[in-house]
Amino acid sequence: MTRTIVIVGAGQAAAQAIQTLQANEFDGKIALIGDEAYVPYERPPLSKGLLAGEIELEKLFFKKPAYFAEKGIDLRLKTSVTRIERAAKRLKLDDGSTLAYDQLLLATGARVRRISIPGADLSGVHYLRGIDDVLGIRAELAPGKRLVLVGAGYIGLEVAAVANKLGTQVTVLEMMDRVMARVVAPAVSAFYDQVHRAAGVDIRLQTGVVAFEGDGRVTAVVTDKGDRVAADMVIVGIGVVPNVELAKDAGLAVDNGIVVDDCCRTSDPDIFAAGDVTNHPSALMGRNIRLESVQNAVSQGRAAALAMLGKPEPYNEVPWFWSDQYDLKLQIAGLSEPTDEAIVRGDPATRKFSVAYLRDGVFVAINTINMLKDFLPAKKLIAEKRVVDKTKLADPNVSLKEL
């Protein structure tokens, strides 16, 4: 009898798992269930090229829609899985049907964290996670409009850069004392802060939001300082929460994500999980972590597929990530902590520099800004947990390969 693998969630991790199953000539059946209206697509361009109108929607799809039929994949879009019945090894879908599995991959990703303040339901208040969100935002974004962004994470700042270029008046409200505080060093935050301000973006730090005002449609944002910022539209970017409910209801181990081992296996031998939704061991950090990045979704999508094929191979890639704002290419590798020592390579004024992070002398992370040549060698230094010479490290003319 042929084996059936069912994948829940048609996102980045699912797309990679299918690619790995195909490359390994898996001869069973594959079913892919996704609650969005689209075949698996890339999210990074949502806040970059797609929002800017620089690329077409079709470019986001990993595979052409015809691919799934050609490969005999049972693809069901706009369909959500509501329950896992582990004893019977089948799923309940929201169209009332059931679907049996031999092996199950949970690739349900994460959803945006909603803000719960008065006015949160007004029209003109947006979030950004999927294609439909971008289409909604783009329909309203126009020169001269006033856009308020809640949260100065990298996605918020990418949107700020695009909206600013489109001639929108942008205000960013951020609770923390610096932008992108979760992902970069203070020196890099300061640099991006200055770049956005120079472009005309109004950034207000240490500023919380207490209410959205308007009659049906948002017209102002009230801050915890008592200020009222006029707004034609708002985009809230205050983080995401993993979609763990299915797993939790089914009694799988869940702890800020579905708990998996280094081959993406959950506490049920027939159920696997990959991507934003997992809480997984990090060899680099020596503890469990949850990541929200394409690299993680790809590494784990691949690892989950191999584990399902009975050829488990642990993933242990150095986490990495990128963000594009204006003409600036930011690449991040490794995971830095606030207590790490930060060493700047090059002069931020040239718009081309890196910041390396040392923990007890060990090279643990890097942020590169338009400094592509540092990126791959840094990844290697991080993987090898290399102790490096600080004087050489601070000299941008010394290649990281020579450390």
Partner 1 sequence: MSKIIVTTQKGKTRELKGESGSSLMEILRDADMGVAAICGGVCSCATCHVYINGEWGKKLPPRSEEETDLLKELESYDPSASRLSCQIEFTEELDGLALTVAPEE
Ligand X SMILES: Cc1cc2nc3c(=O)[nH]c(=O)nc-3n(C[C@H](O)[C@H](O)[C@H](O)COP(=O)(O)OP(=O)(O)OC[C@H]3O[C@@H](n4cnc5c(N)ncnc54)[C@H](O)[C@@H]3O)c2cc1C
Among 3, 4, 19, 398, which residue sits at the site for partner 1 (rule: CB under 8 A)? 19
- Which tokens belong to 240? 């995401």
CA distances from 326 to 43, 186, 199, 341, 375 (A): 18, 20, 9, 28, 20
Q: What is the rounded CA–CA span in Å between residue 80 and residue 8?
A: 8
Give the nearer residue to partner 1 in terms of CB position, either 46 or 218.
Answer: 46
Among 5, 17, 39, 43, which residue sits at the site for ligand X (rule: CB under 6 A)? 43
Give the nearer residue to partner 1 in terms of CB position, either 174 or 324.
Answer: 324
CA distances from 275 to 24, 227, 288 (A): 20, 39, 14
Q: What is the rounded CA–CA span in Å between residue 189 and residue 194?
A: 9
For the bound state, the minimum distance from the C-beta of residue 376 to partner 1, rounded and expressed in Å, comes to: 4
375 binds, among ligand X, partner 1, none (CB under 5 to 8 A by kind): partner 1
Q: Which of 5, 33, 28 is nearest to 92 (CA)?
A: 33
> Is 295 among the residues that bind partner 1 (CB under 8 A)?
yes
> Is 292 among the residues that bind ligand X (CB under 6 A)?
yes
For the bound state, the minimum distance from the C-beta of residue 336 to ligand X, rounded and expressed in Å, comes to: 16
33 binds, among ligand X, partner 1, none (CB under 5 to 8 A by kind): ligand X
Give the nearer residue to ligand X in terms of CB position, either 183 or 344.
Answer: 183
The distance of Cα 13 from the centroid of its chain, to the nearest Å, equals: 12
107 binds, among ligand X, partner 1, none (CB under 5 to 8 A by kind): ligand X
CA distances from 166 to 131, 237, 333 (A): 19, 20, 31
For the bound state, the minimum distance from the C-beta of residue 130 to partner 1, rounded and expressed in Å, comes to: 16
> Is 44 among the residues that bind partner 1 (CB under 8 A)?
yes
> Is 265 among the residues that bind ligand X (CB under 6 A)?
no
> Is 292 among the residues that bind partner 1 (CB under 8 A)?
no
Give the nearer residue to ligand X in terms of CB position, either 46 or 161.
Answer: 46
Q: What is the DSSP string of 131-199?
A: HHHHHHHHHH--TT-EEEEE--SHHHHHHHHHHHHTT-EEEEE-SSSSTTTTTS-HHHHHHHHHHHHHH
Q: What is the rounded CA–CA span in Å between residue 84 and residue 80?
A: 12
Among 21, 30, 31, 33, which residue sits at the site for ligand X (rule: CB under 6 A)? 33
Q: Which residues of 280-319 are buried (b: 16+ CB within 10 A; e: fewer)?
A: bbbebeeeebbbbbbbbbbbbbbbbbbbbbeeeeebebbb
> Is 153 among the residues that bind partner 1 (CB under 8 A)?
no
> Is 321 among the residues that bind ligand X (CB under 6 A)?
yes
Q: Coil, strand or helix: which one is 376?
A: helix
Site residues (vs ligand X, CB under 6 A): 8-14, 33-36, 43-44, 46-47, 80-81, 107-109, 128-129, 155, 243, 246, 275-277, 292-295, 297, 321-323
Site residues (vs partner 1, CB under 8 A): 19, 22-23, 42, 44-45, 48, 59, 62-64, 67, 294-295, 298, 320, 322, 324, 329, 331, 372-373, 375-377, 401
